[in-house]
Amino acid sequence: MTKKQDALDYHARGRPGKIAVVPTKPLTNQRDLSLAYSPGVAEPCLEIKNDADLAYTYTAKGNLVAVVTNGTAVLGLGNIGALAGKPVMEGKGNLFKQFADIDVFDIEVGSENPDDVIKFCQLLEPTVGGINLEDIRAPDCFYIEETLRKTMRIPVFHDDQHGTAIISGAALLNALEIVEKDIADVRIVFSGAGAAAISTAEHYVRLGVQREHILMCDRQGVIYKGRTGDMDPYKARFQVDTKARTIADALVGADVFVGLSVAGAVDGPMIAKMAPRPIVFALANPVPEILPDEVRAVRDDAIVATGRSDYPNQVNNVLGFPFIFRGALDVRATEINEEMKMAATRALALLAKQDVPDSVASLYGLRQVKFGPDYLIPFPFDPRVLLWVAPAVAWAAVASGAANDFVELDAYRERLEARLGRARGIMRGIINRASATPKRVVYPEGEEPKIIRAAQIAVDEGIAHPILLGNRAAIERTASQMNVSLDEIEIEDPSSSPRREAYAHFMWAKRQRKGMSLEEARRRLYNGNYFGSCMVARGDADALLSGVNLHYPETIRPALEVIGAHPKSGLVSGMYMLVLEKHVVFCADTTVNIEPTAEQLAQIAYSASRVTRNFGIEPRIAMLSFSNFGSVRHAEAEKVARAVQLLRQRDPSLIVDGEMQADTAFDTEILQRDYPFSALKSQANVLIFPNLSAGNIAYKLLDHLGGATAIGPILVGMSRPVHVLERGADVQDIVNMTAVAVVDAQGRSQPAEPAAARNTPANGIAPTMYSRL
């Protein structure tokens, strides 16, 4: 399947499109109906008629933004029309919701006449709290925004103009600090003279750049004083007295290059002639004006930023518009003025200089992140951006007189934290970590179409180096039918592999005292799970992922026989990561141990805490039962309480308590009111269940009825990375679990097992139900 088909399937899968309207009030009976609609709805209507400000109390207006386009300048596609631009507008709405919890109506206006767009937006003012203009060609976009800002009393913001300006402005301030240059002295060259370039140049002037120090270049070359061809009033602002006529001329001795044009607009020899310690912002997407490697080849003293996520210093508009609108809406601003834009720029610049928490660094697969040439601005998935930019914008609105409401900063930040939890970025963070150091993942069910498709996505995303097990001809035939390229995917046929005999002797050495003959070992290697387990155990692969067409024991048994539990734990358990709208919860044991002892529960909790930390989340562990801290005297409750004691002895730093009921683990009011002595002071994010029945039932209920996205099962405690897919898992589930397997493999440093099996559990902990096989 081609990348084109991937994109089409993504948009068509399930309910078509990317956004939906979700009710916020119940409508389950006649009383609800009478309140939501006639006759009850008349009451708020009359209140709003008497006081228009009450629309922000009784309706969704205060959290609603219209994303408006006429489709005349969509991405790099040009004038494709309003309807064809709708997928982009829906995508923008998705970003507003995911990053700032702002609701969106995407509006595609079927007219290229800018006055029609203006009139349409003016008529929308009673409906929405703000308007985000998108993908409207220049110079129409300038005229539209200027007119709307003068005539409307809600925020209007053209992100194509101002987003890049705000984000790159933060990068510019920090880059100049690093190279120790004064903003008033630097000379800047722009490649491109469209909406983004002109707005960015104007923003730089407000930051302190001298207008006469800016050389702007378009298709005709340098915009110099006296030029007449291909000019408009907005370009004319940047006419300067210069002898430079080409971008190559302009770059000689320049301190900063800002590319907002096309790939290949500049080359190495041009960059080589810039001033010492040049700053290069090559922001064209998807291919920048010049690649960072090409810059480094000629100027190892350069600081480089691009619009891409696979290089440091990504200038991404998602760092701006969701949080700018969040701050503007929350103080009911009448506009987004220059003071608010400047506040956003300076907030981003300051945030980049703060210590980066390990939890944020781990989202990007990094051990440590520090302010410097490769970290000028925060990462898009840094949850702190909301807490810095939105309050800065809100306060700038208040200070500049654009706000109708006032916010108290500490309380406002608490509201923002409650609005968006860590959940939104957790899976993206895992994929980012995986792509930082991809590992070899073997898929025993290599002939399965869903596995083949997921392997291609893993290659495209740079997550892993897939190894498909199965008949080569069958795999190639299926891949051909699906238009999947196998160029970067390894295929290994267990029936004819040259590794078969070595693996047979390896398995025999491990299992000969458990009834396995050499011939039996040879036969079992026709089973992909045994063959794949040998690959991982011998170091020929880094992780195994299987189970899409198998029952759980069929998948886990070969891995336990060949690889086994880690000697330091002696216990294998299964956990699920449940991603809910506002937070993430880890549940264990959900798949392996039927009736764990207190010692085993302690080990399960300890292993779960290590996985949680590996994903960048500090664990808060609740050991669950039907009893609250001795309220019921029963052996089952006492077992859980004993497990808490054992876990605290093993790792006193862990935040853990129990035994407790599930509602106690999630309700901080209950904890503070009834159990102030508890070590758990806030909502638990790791749940340890007293037995397999409870754990398995609970995660499935949360998955199917609670709206959670279940990622797992994550197999914990194995000597080498082995993970099991849910039977019938879809392609995205497989991709997600591939990333989990790679991150697990990244955290392993021990060498592959060279010889016989380890037969003795460590630490005196009893074996699991499967380890006796």
Span 126-152, pLDDT tens digits = 999 999 999 999 889 999 999 999 999
> What is the model's pLDDT at position 420?
63
pLDDT tens per residue across span 694-717: 999 999 888 888 777 888 888 888
| Per-residue CA distances from 408 to 277, 330, 397, 415, 753 (Å) | 42, 11, 13, 11, 59
Instruction: Output the six-digit token pair for 40.
Output: 């009850």
Please check the confidence at residue 519 and state whether its pLDDT lies above 80: yes
Please indicate whether residue 551 or residue 329 has the higher confidence score (pLDDT).
329
**Predicted confidence band at 98 (pLDDT cuts at 50, 70, 90)?**
confident
Written as six digits, the tokens of 467 are 């190894």
Band the pLDDT of 422: cuts 50, 70, 90. low
pLDDT at 435 over 60: yes
Count of Cβ atoms closer than 10 Å to residue 766 Cβ? 15
Which is higher by pLDDT, 6 or 769?
Answer: 6
Could you tell me the two tokens for 161?
């103009």
Q: What is the structure's pLDDT at 14?
A: 82
Mean pLDDT of 712-723: 89
Cβ atoms < 10 Å from Cβ of 432: 24
The mean pLDDT value for 155-169 works out to 95
Catalogue the E-assigned strands of 30-121.
64-69, 103-108
Q: What's the gap between Cα 683 and its chain centre?
A: 23
Task: Report the pLDDT value the prediction gives residue 421, as an integer from 0 to 100.
Answer: 57
Exposed e or buried b per residue across 628-650, where buried means at least 16 C-beta atoms within 10 angstroms of its C-beta: bbeeeeeeebbbbbbbbebbeee
User: Residue 469, SS3?
Assistant: strand
Look at residue 665 in the predicted model and tell me its pLDDT. Answer: 93
Range 25-53 average pLDDT: 93
State the pLDDT at residue 425.
60
Q: Does 10 participate in catalysis according to the annotation?
A: no
Question: The tokens of 177 are what?
Answer: 């600090």
Q: What is the mean pLDDT of residues 317-343?
A: 96
**In the predicted model, what is the mean pLDDT of residues 542-557?**
90
- Whether pLDDT at 68 is above 90: yes
Neighbours of 409 (CB within 10 A): 11
Using DSSP bridges, classify how beta strands 543-546 and 584-588 pair: parallel, antiparallel or unpaired.
Answer: unpaired
Residue 139 preceded by cis peptide, ω within 30: yes
Query: With pLDDT > 70 as the criterion, what percentage of the chain qualifies?
Result: 95
Q: Which has the closest alpha carbon to 455: 428, 475, 436, 429?
A: 475
**Active-site annotation holder among 3, 25, 58, 92:** 92
Q: What pLDDT is recorded for position 604? A: 95
C-alpha 469/C-alpha 485 separation (Å) is 16
- Position of tokens 């110079």? 139
Mean pLDDT of the chain: 90
- The pLDDT of residue 691 is 95
Question: What is residue 773's predicted lDDT score, i.e. its pLDDT?
Answer: 28
Is the model's pLDDT at 772 over the cut of 50? Answer: no
Contacts of 59 (CB under 8 A, 6+ apart): 44, 48
Sheet of 439-443, strand order: 490-492, 464-469, 439-443, 543-546, 722-724
Give the tokens for residue 423.
């959940």
User: For position 554, what pLDDT does the model report?
Assistant: 86
What does DSSP say about strands 709-716 and 573-579: parallel, antiparallel, or unpaired?
A: antiparallel
Helices in 493-563 by DSSP H: which ranges? 500-511, 518-524, 528-537, 552-562
576 is annotated as an active-site residue: no
Residue 517, judged by CB atoms within 10 A of its CB (0-12, 13-18, 19+), counts as exposed
Residues whose CB falls within 8 Å of the CB of residue 215, separated by 6 or more in sequence, listed in order: 187, 188, 189, 190, 222, 223, 240, 242, 244, 250, 254
> What average pLDDT does range 102-117 have in this prediction?
96
How many Å apart are CA 735 and CA 454, to the nearest integer? 6
Calculate mean pLDDT across residues 334-341: 96
What pLDDT, on the 0 to 100 scale, is given for residue 605? 95
Q: Does residue 552 surpass a pLDDT of 90?
A: no
- Three-state DSSP at 685 gives coil
3 state SS of 596:
coil
Across 490-502, average pLDDT: 95
**pLDDT above 90: residue 358:** no
Token digits for 280?
A: 């290069």
C-beta of residue 247 within 8 angstroms of C-beta of residue 265? yes
The pLDDT assigned to 767 comes to: 32
Instruction: Quote the pLDDT of residue 766.
Output: 32
pLDDT of residue 458: 93
Sign of CA dihedral 280, 285, 287, 289: negative
- Please say if the pLDDT value at position 337 is more than 60: yes
Listed range (284-293, 295-304, 424-433) with the worst mean pLDDT? 424-433
pLDDT > 80? residue 531:
yes
Distances (CA, A) of 162 to 142, 173, 318, 362, 387: 11, 16, 12, 30, 20
Residue 752 pLDDT more than 70?
A: no
Distance, CA of 623 to CA of 689 (rounded, Å):
6
In this predicted structure, which of 491-495, 563-567, 650-654 has the lowest mean pLDDT?
A: 563-567
Task: Check pLDDT > 90 for residue 754.
Answer: no
Torsion sign across C-alpha atoms 427, 431, 434, 439: positive
- Considering only residues 703 and 455, tell me which one the structure prediction assigns the higher pLDDT: 455
What tens digit of pLDDT does each residue of 198-234 get?
999 999 999 999 999 999 999 999 999 999 888 989 9
pLDDT for 601 beyond 50: yes
Percentage, residues of the chain above pLDDT 90: 69
Query: Phi and psi for 108 in degrees, rounded to 5?
Result: -105, 115
Give the residue, 6 or 485, on which the prediction is more confident.
485
pLDDT category at 769 given cuts 50, 70, 90 is: very low
pTM: 0.71
Judged against a pLDDT cut of 50, whether residue 400 lies above it is answered with yes
Q: Which of 3, 10, 37, 681 is catalytic?
A: 37
